[in-house]
Structure 1
Amino acid sequence: MATGAFEATEPKPRPKRKKSPTNSLTAQISHYVSMCGGYAMRINVGGFYREDVGYIKSGSTVGVPDLICVQNGRLIGVEVKTGRDWQKEEQKEVEERIKQAKGVYIIARDFDTFRAEFDAIIRGL
């Protein structure tokens, strides 16, 4: 083989990781909003780590809800909290700003409670 030539190899299979409870709940909520005729967009404000450069911030605004949903023209921010996770101060500030702008904000800890709250909101729209 010539120097510097590239030899293709089969990619190593990645071990399947179990979805975290937060990711599972977020996916369920996003799917449900879509099934109800709305639009849900996941917002990932967490950064990530790369060995070559270290931790990289996402560039997103801190405190933005995990899901930004639009249902019948109304903005609904959904913050997903599982286990011992709690709402941070920046998230409380964003919640207040969304409510002041006549948007809706839901803190979702489980799917059934979210669905009941979401259904009540869209019935009132």
Structure 2
Amino acid sequence: MTLELLLNIYLKAGLSALKTLYCCGDDCTKEDPLSQESFRKLALPLLDSKQHHSKLVCYITKELMDTENPPQVFPNGYAYSTKALEEMAKKNNGKITCPRTALICSYSEVVKAYIS
């Protein structure tokens, strides 16, 4: 057993992965956990993450999602690559299934995700 609470250890592990040079400034987005003062205090002694740019990888194809293969978002919020969903739609007469929740919908119901 450790002297520190396991919850604190897990929070610090997650926050250290999120903590970059850009996240602790005044222009930090509200969606970022480090925009909250309590999380900032917990992350203060932690090292910054070396990851400056995120990469999205499709859960289905394991391929990078980028401008050539943009993410498409299901009505339930899960995102997969355009390539994967187009292939699935071709095989199933325009119907696609979310592999995580088994939600079935038409390919026309997914929307393109824009990353900024």
TM-score by length of structure 2 reads 0.25
TM-score by length of structure 1 reads 0.24
**Structure number with higher relative contact order (C-alpha < 8 Å, ≥ 6 residues apart):** 1
Identify, as 1 or 2, the structure richer in strand. Answer: 1
